[in-house]
Every structure is written in C-alpha cells, then in structure tokens.
Structure 1
Amino acid sequence: MSVTIKRLIALGLSLAMALTLAACGGSPSQSAPAPAGPAGESAAGGAASEAAQRLDEQKELNIMFVAGNFPESMQKIYSDYEEEYGVKINYTVLGVDTYYQKMLVELSSGSDAYDLIYLMSPQFLQYASNDWLYPLDDFIADKTITDDALLDLDGLMKSSVDAQRYDGKLYGLPVASLTTLLYWRKDLFEAAGLDPDKPPETWEQLRDYAKLLHKDGVAGVGLRGARSAGGSEGLIWEWPMVMYSMGGDFVKNFPTDMTPTLDTPEVAASIDYYADLLQNYSIPGATTCNYEDITVAVQQGDLAMWIDGAAIVRNYIDPDKSATREEDVGFAPVPAGPEGRCAPLNVHSINIPKNAQHKERAWHFMQWALSEEILVRLGIEGNLVTVSRESVYDNPDFIAKNNIGGGAWLQAMRESLANYAMPNYRPLTPEWPEVADIVSGYISDVFAKQSTAEEAMKMANEEVAAVYKEAGYIS
C-alpha cells in the first residue's frame, strides 16, 4: 500500500473518530487541533466536525481541466482515487479556447457545476478578484480534513504558492511553473551546414537561420500566432519575450506606474519582426496557430526550429506519434535581443470554484493529486515533466523517465527558470485578460496586413489606457 494511500486512510480514520466524538458529545480537539477563529474553540471544533461530515458524505467530484500534461496524465490514474475512497469522478478535459470560454460563462454566472478547475496565472487573478474561487486557508487549518505531511505546503515552490494568493488569502495549489525553450532539429542544422550543437543566440541570428532552413517542405521556425484566449496562450504567451528583449514594455513601471507604453518604436519593431517570421518562414496558417498546431508540425517533421513550452517536450518526441526523434532535437533558452534574454513564466494551478457543491471532497483530492508520490507517478506513468515540487525532480525514477536529451532538456529548463523567466512577464492585474485580448487583436490586424504596427499599437495604447483609467490605475 502506498504512503499516500496510508496517509489519506489515516486522515479518513481521524475524520471518522471526529464524527464519532461529535456524535457522542465528545470534542475532536483531543485528537486534532481545531482551527483558530473569533467564535472560540468550541465553535471552531464544531465547524471542523461539520467539514469532516461533509467530506464523508460527498461521494461525487466534478472536475473540468484544460488540456495539458497534468490533466492528461491524471486521466490515467484518477480511477485509483475513485476505487480507494468510493468516489465517482466526472472528469473532463477541453482544449484551451473552448475551456476558458466555458469557464468564464460558468463562473461568472455563479454555476455550481464544477468542483475543481485548472487555471494559469492570467486567469487566476481575474477569477480571484471577481470572487469566483474558494479560499483554502480554513481547509488547511482544519486537521480533520487536512494531512499536513501529505499536503507538505512548504515543499511546494514558494514563488508558485505565492502566485495563488490574492488579498491575503490562498486560492489554489500550484501544479507547475512553466517557461519556454528554443528547440531545433540537429539533423537539419547539419544538412544546412550549421553546427548542430550551436543554436542561434540572438533574434537576428534566429531569423537568419530560419531563412536558411525554410525549404523542401520544412518551415524555418514555429511560434504561436493566435489571438489571446482570455489573457493567455497564442501570441500573447510568446511575442512579449521578443518585445522585452528589444526594449519594449506594456507599461512604464509595473505596478507603480501603469501608463501604457505600447506606442513606442521598440514595441512596433518587435511586432514587425514577429510578423516577418510568421508570414515568411513558418508553417501554413502560422498567424493564427496555437501550440497544438506547432506540435502537429513537429510530429510530422515539418519544423526546423520552434519556440514553445518546456512542458510540451514529450509530445514532440513521442515515438508513437512523432517523426521527430529525441536524439535529433536540441534544447536551449530563448534567443537574446539588445536587452538580453527574456522568457515567459506561467504558474498552473488547481482551484475550487466558490459555488462548488463538493468543496471538502475537492480539497481531499487536491492533497492526493499534488502529493510527491502522485506527482512522481504522473511523471512516470503519464507525460508530466514540469512539477511544483523540487523534490520530484530529484526522484531517481522521475529522472530516469524524463532524462530527455541526456539531461539537456532539464538543464535548459532550469537555466531558463533561474535566469530568464520574468515574474512580471505580464502586468498581471484583474484587467489583464481584457488588455491581452485588446493587444493581441491589434497585432492580429498587423499579421493580416490591415494596419502597420505603428498604427495598430497607437490604437491599442489608447484602448488599454481607457481600461486602466476605469480601473483607477492612471488618471
């Protein structure tokens, strides 16, 4: 029997004891400390017993996640939880665009249809600020439904945990901290007379390489070109790294001066550069593509270089799906501009909607799903390669399964996270999804040659300024 199962069984026994004591007039505080509260120990103990009672009664869990490594890997093993605890899990995974459209409608309307959802940094702030999520602090304090050893909150990456705090409360648990990498086909480099072990160091060099490699049905470079999906994905995940490295920014000085700066020459230059790559040296439909399209192109052997998420690496080299072989792929941090290398940072999380019907059961499942043991299993039995616990990266079985490129992938990812990933990659405020949609919409107009970068960003700047004025950030 696994350590995780033993701990959760122990928690269940503790729960049952608490219920028995409560039924007999005893106090559960004798076996577990009651959470502090203004109503006093007795009321807190009663609340704890009520939470334990609700957990015991909740035998169904409705989960809706967005497609990705963690959700898809969890599909392989969540039945273990069902079997162990007699719980029926209704588990659904949707593509990114469909998912966030549905979540926005569901949560903004106060729906109670889902008990657990999956968010990324941009959406988290929007959802938390709109009071659509349930805070976890009382659950953590309630030892009748929380196993501190299993939860191991301190074992989760602190920066990722802090990214789930809003207005002094914790609203989720992190799954992983994600960034992007530059990937390239060593065999195609060698055929083109390039050193297979030396990727382009700068954006200009990347374009030169793309021109050279763009031939014989193979595209020179792949980057996301789709419009933002509620503040993330598409071009808004990748274009900013070019903008920052070329000296541009969204605002003057986040968060102290939110005056938009999208109408600068540096921002326009980054858009012109990005458009040139997508229009002339990328895959068909590049100006509207997302990561799924890039993945398919890699699997078909149609890309010489691409920049995308570190976590997607398994999909590129899966021998059952891809014509691109692991031994032919190189890994490195993204190229540099005049201002250096600038990489994205995105925290993925599991969260409980405010109106969820089965909150205690959702919390119980979260502890199980994000325990070290289960994360290791997701990495070994599934395709999870980026996690929220450093200890998992040191697990020998996890290393053996994910020793991609002889360790080159892990080295490149850790280098990017440590040195180039920007905590303020996006000026994250509750209004960010609206801002991202505005900016990406105008960049799409440039891609479609409906306006110049200068014209588009002047209009975008005005619209973003109006959003920030209404929010009270600028006068």
Structure 2
Amino acid sequence: MISRRHLLATGAALGSAAGLAACGSGTPGQTADDAKKSEAGTPTVTIQFWMGKLTTGEDAWYKKIVKQFNEAQDAVKVELTQVPGDAWEQKLKAAQAAGKAPDMYIGVGNNVSVQVGNGELADMSDLLPAESWDDLTETAADLVTVDGKKYAYPMLFEPQTVLFYRKDMFTEAGLDPEAPPKSWAEVLEYGPKLKSKGRFGLMMGVTGADFGWQSWGWQRNVAGHLPISDDWATAKADDPAYEKLATFYRDLYSQEIVARQALGPANDSSAFGQNKAAMMVQGSWGISQILDEFDNLADKVGVAPLPTHDGTGTVPVTIGNMKWMIDGKSKNPQAAADFIKWAIAGDDPAVLLDYFKTTGYSKFPARTSVTEAVASAPDADTLNPWRKVIADVVMPAAALEPQYDWTVAEAFGKAMEKCMRGDDIPKTLGAVNTEIQGIIDKLKLAEKAPQ
C-alpha cells in the first residue's frame, strides 16, 4: 500500500480542519489549546464516518484506510462504523432525526438533489481544491451538482444489472457455455433446461422494492422511457409496452424459473455462489463478491450484458454509485473534507487504485486520472477477466439512476410484483399510473426536475 504521508505535506495542513480562528498557536486554524492537544498527541477533531457493510474485501479496505490516516497524523481522528445493510436506512434516519448523524458517510445511490432540499448535506464546493473537482468525469460531476454547488464526492460507478451465468451448468444442460441468452425468449427457453433439484434457472429480485431498481434498464429497453416523463410532470406507467415486461416476469414466475421467494437480498450473490441458481441478474459488484468469497468459482462463471426484450442492442442499464458525503449539520466539515481528499480525492491516482485492485477491478472510477490508471494496470484483466465486457459493452450504453423521488420507482416495482404474481396486467398498470401521477402532484416533482 502506498504511503499517504506525502499527501499530508501540503499547504492545506490538517490543522486547519478544526475550522477555528487562530489565537496564538503556531498553526493556522488552531487555537493555542488545540495546538497543545496536537502536541500532546490528542486529536483536535474526531470525525464519525459511517458506511454500510459491503464485501469482505471492501470492508477490510475501509478499515485499513482509516487506520493509515489516523496513524499518518495526529490532528484528526476518524472513527469508522460499519452498519449492516438491512439496518442502514433505519439507523441513519434515526440518527439524523435525533441530531446525531455522523459527520460523513458513504451514500449508495442517494438522490443528492432530494437530500439537498432536505438540508441533509454540506456544500463541499470550497472544502476540496479545484483539482479534485476537475478530475471528475462529466457524469460524476453532474451527479453531485445542485444549482452549481457540489454536495458529495463520487468514488465509483457500477452497472446495477448484468447477467452472470454458470458455464459448467450450461454445458451440463447441453447449452453453449460461450453463448449466454441475448433475449427474453432465450431466457425463458434456457431457464427450464438449467433447473435441477435445489437449483433455479435464474436468480433475481422478486419483490416490489427489488423491481423498483432492478427493472430500470428493462423499463427503458422495452418502452424507451421510464414510467414518468422527463420533465417529471406526467405518469407514463400505463404504456402498453410495459405489458411485455410484466408478462416476462409472470412467465419466469409461473414456470418457476425464478424462486417464488427471494433466495437472499437482491444485491447479494451468495445463493449464486452456493449453486442455487444457474443464472443471476446482479450488479457488477457481484464480481468482487465471487472473487472474494468463493474459491475456484471464477473459471466457471461468465458475465454478459443483460438480455434485451428482442435480442438486439444493449440494455441501457443504470449505474449505481458510491459517493462520500458530509452531513449538513457536521461541526467539522473541513476535517471531514480533508480526510476525503487524503483517501479518494488526492492528486496521486495510484492511491485510490489500491481500492479498485482490492475489488478485482469490478467497479469503475469516477475520476479521469484513476480511470486511466485502471486501464493501464497490468493485472486488471487478469484479476477480472470480465472487465472488458462491462467496460466495452455495458458501460457505453449505461445511464444514471433516475433522480426522481424513490416512491415513484417503488410504486412501479410493486406493480410489477403484482403482475408477476397473477394480477390483471392492464388494470395494474392503469392503477399504478394513477398512483404515480398522485405522487407527482403531491410532491410537486415537476418543480424539482433537473433542467
């Protein structure tokens, strides 16, 4: 691991992180009392940093990066809390409501504009140097910019839905292990052939909440749009094209190609790694989990673009993202920003390259310099033999997650689940169209749409 100490020897000394006026100390931004604490080895600022629990390798990387930062200087101490995924939303919201939110946390797919409207995020525009912002890709910068100000620092992107399949199970079923399904019809054809006792043909989310995000790419693929107009003024969930998507889900369910009950969380590849499914719709993060947690499985797995409704083109899958955010009520936003610069926004791309290597190069940087470093890394394609498929085929067609209120996506997802489980498809789509229009009007979404 490259030492971060050289990153601290800059004009933006971490002593300024305390954000206090100088009162006789030898360090700008420090009071005399703070200087004494620093000299005595006592951090002048303690930062609370929260993250949801990720893969084993990622969790270890975050612990390591915090430890190295704390050992590299004594002006700021970062305390890391890793929260189980199923408890994350409840814990964070409870802390925010009680005025005890962490100084900073990792946002996964958060809608920045909504959070800014709620007063939850600190304006980071002037907390990081211009060079850090300039290195972001255009997509990454747009993701965190609201009214010209920047409210988070993006770390990575990852396609939320690609197809994983077991080559050995394809061979066993008499299917070509180098020819994954390209259309919904082929998924329905291959699925029954791949089933066996204790194994399903396909693993995917089967609840409304799962469909709320897993179906975004297929929504665009089959209808050419999402169930709300681009200006967020009109519901479009009753488009007859969505009947094809609902019918596809119903066929998967009625033929028991997918499990009637979820095999596990929709963002977890464990059941696939445990031989409980021959194919899986999963985010590219599944690559790092397979590499990290299942020995000798990688050679048996293929990764391909998500099948399209008619077998042509590429599904415009959404790209999830991870970004580091500073709470709007943090008392030490500059200290938090200095840690962010040290860890993921510094001037040496090799520093962050360690994270992407740790995760098997299964994720895609939000910074131009780091993207170039990954592309030239000699072990990138060795550690991740599927990287080029995603980089060359999936990513060019990908789109950001919809930025409208989650309740719209959730309502459509629940409608898809009802259709899958047997409800009348046209009536269900008509009902959810009315529901989404009600959400639009109640939340005045048209006034909040990106310009």
Same fold (TM over 0.5): yes
Match in the other structure for 1:411: 388
Match in the other structure for 2:102: 114
2:398 aligned residue (421, 431, 434): 421
Shift of 1:172: 0.4
1:379 is paired with a residue whose SS is helix
1:438 aligned residue (398, 411, 433): 411
Provide the rounded CA distance (Å) in 2 between the counterparts of 1:27 and 1:19.
Answer: 12
- The residue type paired with residue 337 of structure 2 is W
TM-aligned CA distance change 1:27 to 1:221, over 3 Å: closer
TM-aligned CA distance change 1:3 to 1:95, over 3 Å: closer
Shift of 1:355: 0.7
Do 1:236 and 1:436's aligned partners in 2 also have CA atoms closer than 8 Å? yes
Shift of 1:83: 1.1
Provide the rounded CA distance (Å) in 2 between the counterparts of 1:89 and 1:14.
Answer: 13
Shift of 1:220: 0.8
Within a 5 Å distance, the mapping from 1:350-365 to structure 2 comes to 350-365=324-339
Within a 5 Å distance, the mapping from 1:275-290 to structure 2 comes to 275-278=250-253, 280-283=256-259, 285-286=261-262, 289-290=265-266
Provide the rounded CA distance (Å) in 2 between the counterparts of 1:122 and 1:21.
Answer: 34
Do 2:199 and 2:278's aligned partners in 1 also have CA atoms closer than 8 Å? yes
Q: Deviations over 1:326-375 (max 9, x none)?
A: 11111221112248422122232110010113312210111122142332
Q: Deviations over 1:151-196 (max 9, x none)?
A: 6332222211220011221000101112132111111112222211
Do 2:8 and 2:14's aligned partners in 1 also have CA atoms closer than 8 Å? no
TM-aligned CA distance change 1:454 to 1:101, over 3 Å: farther
Match in the other structure for 1:62: 48
Q: Deviations over 1:273-298 (max 9, x none)?
A: 12432451124623884222xx1112
- TM-score (normalised: structure 2): 0.83
1:125 aligned residue (113, 132, 150): 113
User: How many aligned positions are there?
Assistant: 428
TM-aligned CA distance change 1:136 to 1:393, over 3 Å: closer
2:111 is paired with a residue whose SS is helix
Shift of 1:203: 1.7
In the alignment, is residue 10 of structure 1 matched against residue 10 of structure 2? yes
Shift of 1:270: 0.6
Do 2:47 and 2:77's aligned partners in 1 also have CA atoms closer than 8 Å? yes
- The residue type paired with residue 444 of structure 2 is G
Provide the rounded CA distance (Å) in 1 between the counterparts of 2:146 and 2:288.
Answer: 33
TM-aligned CA distance change 1:409 to 1:24, over 3 Å: same
Provide the rounded CA distance (Å) in 2 between the counterparts of 1:115 and 1:350.
Answer: 11
Do 1:380 and 1:397's aligned partners in 2 also have CA atoms closer than 8 Å? no
Do 1:122 and 1:433's aligned partners in 2 also have CA atoms closer than 8 Å? no
TM-aligned CA distance change 1:391 to 1:14, over 3 Å: closer
- The residue type paired with residue 461 of structure 1 is N
- The residue type paired with residue 281 of structure 1 is I
Within a 5 Å distance, the mapping from 1:291-440 to structure 2 comes to 291-292=267-268, 295-318=269-292, 321-322=293-294, 325-338=297-310, 340=313, 341-370=315-344, 371=346, 372-381=349-358, 385-386=362-363, 387-395=365-373, 399-403=377-381, 408-423=385-400, 425-426=401-402, 428-429=403-404, 432-440=405-413
In the alignment, is residue 220 of structure 1 matched against residue 194 of structure 2? no
2:323 is paired with a residue whose SS is strand
1:285 is paired with a residue whose SS is coil
Match in the other structure for 1:456: 428
- The residue type paired with residue 320 of structure 2 is N
TM-aligned CA distance change 1:158 to 1:26, over 3 Å: same
Provide the rounded CA distance (Å) in 2 between the counterparts of 1:200 and 1:67.
Answer: 32
Which structure shows the higher helix fraction?
A: 1
Structure 2 residues without counterparts, runs of 5 or longer: none
- TM-score (normalised: structure 1): 0.79
Match in the other structure for 1:197: 178
Provide the rounded CA distance (Å) in 1 between the counterparts of 2:170 and 2:335.
Answer: 52
Provide the rounded CA distance (Å) in 2 between the counterparts of 1:441 and 1:62.
Answer: 36
1:172 aligned residue (129, 152, 158): 152
Provide the rounded CA distance (Å) in 2 between the counterparts of 1:433 and 1:419.
Answer: 25
- The residue type paired with residue 127 of structure 1 is Q
TM-aligned CA distance change 1:125 to 1:444, over 3 Å: farther
1:83 is paired with a residue whose SS is helix
Q: Deviations over 1:205-246 (max 9, x none)?
A: 122111211124321111122343xxxxx2222122222222
Provide the rounded CA distance (Å) in 2 between the counterparts of 1:19 and 1:92.
Answer: 24
In the alignment, is residue 77 of structure 1 matched against residue 77 of structure 2? no
Match in the other structure for 1:235: 211
Do 1:185 and 1:330's aligned partners in 2 also have CA atoms closer than 8 Å? yes
In the alignment, is residue 101 of structure 1 matched against residue 90 of structure 2? yes
Do 1:393 and 1:399's aligned partners in 2 also have CA atoms closer than 8 Å? no
Shift of 1:396: 7.0
Runs (4+) of structure 1 exceeding 6 A deviation are 18-21, 24-28, 53-57
Q: Deviations over 1:102-130 (max 9, x none)?
A: 323433x2624301112233433321221
Do 1:21 and 1:27's aligned partners in 2 also have CA atoms closer than 8 Å? no
In the alignment, is residue 250 of structure 1 matched against residue 220 of structure 2? no
Do 1:118 and 1:348's aligned partners in 2 also have CA atoms closer than 8 Å? yes
Provide the rounded CA distance (Å) in 2 between the counterparts of 1:380 and 1:73.
Answer: 11
1:137 is paired with a residue whose SS is coil
1:197 is paired with a residue whose SS is coil
Do 2:350 and 2:373's aligned partners in 1 also have CA atoms closer than 8 Å? no
Do 2:164 and 2:301's aligned partners in 1 also have CA atoms closer than 8 Å? yes
Shift of 1:49: 8.0
Provide the rounded CA distance (Å) in 1 between the counterparts of 2:126 and 2:241.
Answer: 47
Shift of 1:465: 0.4
Do 1:4 and 1:373's aligned partners in 2 also have CA atoms closer than 8 Å? no
Q: Deviations over 1:24-66 (max 9, x none)?
A: 79998xxxxxxxxxxxxxxxxxxx789xx89986431111112
Q: Which moved more, 1:127-136 or 1:331-340?
A: 331-340
